[in-house]
Amino acid sequence: MDTQAEVHRAISQARLAQQSWRSVRVRERAERIARFAGLVVEHRRELSAGVLYPTRGGYLETITAELLPLAQTAQWLGSDADRVLRTRRTSWWSRPMWLGSLRSRVERVPRGLVLILGTWNYPIYLTGSQLLHALVAGNGVLIKPAEGCQQVTRKLAELCVECGVPSDLVQVLDSSLEAGKQAMAFGVDHVVMTGSSGSGRRVLEQAIGHLSSATLELSGCDSVFVLPSADLDRVADLLRFGVRLNGGATCIAPRRVFVLESMLDRFIRKLKQRLDPPGALPWSTWLSASSLGQLEPLVQEAIAQGASMAIPWRQGVRRPQIPDPDGVPKEWVSTGPIVLQGVRPGMSIYGLDIFAPLLSIVPVRDIEQAIAFNDSCRYGLCASIFGLESEAEQLVSRIRAGSILVNDMVVPTADARLPFGGRGESGYGVTRGEEGLLEMTNSQVISFKRGKWLPHSDLPQEGDEQLLDGLLQFQYGRGWKIRMSGLQQVLRSIRSKPTN
């Protein structure tokens, strides 16, 4: 297949369709996208069957992690998009005196053509929500799906057409890296990418070369702060959920858990009860052989530096599964949770961004040390704090993360009303929520000047400097004395101006 020709065709068709789509009123676009929620229900089994990677824990997990939040996203856009994208008009009362009779408004206009570089770990929700936001904002969309996600991505595009979106408006490219590169080379107006920080850098370098804006939702190595007031049973239950979710292939899964040394023994006992209960069948997931090859030496290195396994690391059989872009089956390895205790900053495994059921327990003297240790990690996607709300509230401003959850983990970030994005190596810009919807648009300012007063159109005259200096003092001076002095200067300069 000629990738270059296919991408060029897709861009041409999407741009042509976008010209008419952008003229559709926001309210009508939102009403069409709202129908997507019902279609998610009707096609729920087919969508779930399109998730081919073996980390997914079955249909139940797909419902909670992808289908429910995507349906809510469509519903929320249907009810709120018109309000969020509404034109803003400047107030007459706040108009600066020196502007005269000026009336302005700020409109939100589509960026044009949005390229979505999809991810494999949540191909329904992440790609789907970005797609719906782009469409409601009035854009055309190209999607370069992750390898193995072509089927489910095409289904998302088909459902958009069923909602009333023009058939050419959403174009699904092939999953090759070349397709994404060609799309940026031909020219798109905005890029939304979900992936690793390394991939984000490469995408940004190309986007900058073509002056395309970008939203980068990148890697995470999320932290958990366990305060002395925390309910340790609650913490252990949610860590079990977080480490098992999607087999560890979750960018906002817990990775580093800061626990006071005085609480460490009690905490470890409760965590073992959840992750390695006596007499129960051990839980396991699938880890790619390449990820295992990256992880094993780092685990051994951490142990040599003083860390230890909190529970036995069970590894099992190997099997081929999803073909890579060259058509070669990837090898996957059965693995249980990997829980290390005694991890410290400076160890290679500390701050590792990897899709694996990995958990590092980091003992600290106090919360101040936990904050300092957390600051040494270059990622800032999400953080969880467990303890009294009043105590957690004192910490939130000191934690560098796009989302901070108090007494919960992962799930609140799926609320369609909330933006999602990271700091540092975790990217920049946001997707989802009001801010994510605005990010799919550009602001356009329209100003109308009324009346004949256009002093800036005249040639400079004697006294103009005194007049404007007085006006500056009168309008913006600190205290009534300087303001009154400015007013007097304005009046003197007006009286001294020659009359024609």
> How do residues 105-154 score in pLDDT, each as one tens digit?
999 999 999 999 999 999 999 999 999 999 999 999 999 999 989 999 99
What is the C-alpha to C-alpha distance for residues 21 and 138, in angstroms, rounded to an integer? 6
Q: In terms of domains, do 310 and 207 share one?
A: no
Q: In terms of domains, do 372 and 354 share one?
A: yes
In a domain, 241, yes or no: yes
Q: In terms of domains, do 214 and 264 share one?
A: no
Here the CATH number for the domain that contains residue 405 is 3.40.309.10
What is the C-alpha to C-alpha distance for residues 64 and 73, in angstroms, rounded to an integer? 13
Q: Report the candidate in 316, 348, 314, 313 with the shortest Cα–Cα distance to residue 332.
A: 316
Q: In terms of domains, do 69 and 175 share one?
A: yes
Q: In terms of domains, do 277 and 186 share one?
A: no
Q: In this structure, what DSSP letter does residue 398 have? A: G
What is the C-alpha to C-alpha distance for residues 363 and 425, in angstroms, rounded to an integer? 24
- Residue 247 amino acid letter: G
In a domain, 118, yes or no: yes
Q: In terms of domains, do 301 and 352 share one?
A: yes
Mean pLDDT across the chain: 93
Q: In terms of domains, do 237 and 210 share one?
A: no
286-320 pLDDT per residue, tens: 998 889 999 999 999 999 999 999 999 998 877 77
Q: In this structure, what DSSP letter does residue 328 have? A: P
Q: Helices then strands (H, E): number in the chain?
A: 18, 21
322-367 pLDDT per residue, tens: 655 445 567 899 999 999 999 999 999 999 999 999 999 999 999 9
The model's pTM: 0.92
In a domain, 427, yes or no: no
- Residue 352 amino acid letter: L
In a domain, 154, yes or no: yes
Number of independent structural domains in the chain: 3
What is the C-alpha to C-alpha distance for residues 67 and 69, in angstroms, rounded to an integer? 6
Q: Catalogue the E-assigned strands of 373-417.
A: 379-380, 382-386, 403-406
Burial class (CB in 10 A: 0-12, 13-18, 19+), 370: buried
What is the C-alpha to C-alpha distance for residues 464 and 452, in angstroms, rounded to an integer? 18
The SS3 assignment for 182 reads helix
Position 454 pLDDT exceeds 90: no
Position 97 pLDDT exceeds 90: no
pLDDT at position 323: 56
Q: In terms of domains, do 188 and 265 share one?
A: no
What is the C-alpha to C-alpha distance for residues 136 and 170, in angstroms, rounded to an integer? 12
pLDDT at position 325: 47
Is 230 within 8 Å of 238 (Cβ atoms)?
Answer: no
34-80 pLDDT per residue, tens: 999 999 999 999 999 999 889 998 999 999 999 999 999 999 999 99
pLDDT at position 316: 80
HSE toward the beta carbon, residue 203, CA cutoff 13 A: 28
Least confident of 148-152, 188-192, 462-466, 494-498: 494-498
**DSSP per-residue codes, 351-404:** T---SSSEEEEEEESSHHHHHHHHHTSSEESEEEEES-HHHHHTTGGGS--SEE
Q: Report the candidate in 455, 68, 405 with the shortest Cα–Cα distance to residue 235.
A: 405
Here the CATH number for the domain that contains residue 84 is 3.40.605.10
Question: In which order are the strands placed within the sheet that holds 102-110?
Answer: 88-89, 102-110, 441-449
Q: In terms of domains, do 185 and 241 share one?
A: no
Q: In terms of domains, do 214 and 77 share one?
A: yes
Position 499 pLDDT exceeds 70: no
119 phi/psi in degrees, rounded to 5 = -120, 160
Q: In terms of domains, do 358 and 399 share one?
A: yes
In a domain, 429, yes or no: no
In a domain, 426, yes or no: no
Domain, as residue range, for 169: 3-218+434-444
Token pair, residue 340, equals 């290390």
**191-209: average pLDDT:** 92
Q: Report the candidate in 58, 432, 485, 24 with the shortest Cα–Cα distance to residue 245.
A: 58
What is the C-alpha to C-alpha distance for residues 176 and 290, in angstroms, rounded to an integer? 19
What is the C-alpha to C-alpha distance for residues 266 and 248, in angstroms, rounded to an integer? 25
Q: In terms of domains, do 199 and 244 share one?
A: no
In a domain, 419, yes or no: no
In a domain, 421, yes or no: no
3-state secondary structure 127-140: HHHHHHHHHHCCCE
Token pair, residue 196, equals 């690793």
**Helices (H), ranges, 164-288:** 177-186, 197-209, 232-244, 264-275
What is the C-alpha to C-alpha distance for residues 139 and 234, in angstroms, rounded to an integer? 43
Rg (CA), the chain: 28
220's CB contacts (< 8 A; 6+ apart) are 251, 252, 253, 255, 353, 379, 381, 382, 422, 426
What is the C-alpha to C-alpha distance for residues 428 and 259, in angstroms, rounded to an integer? 29
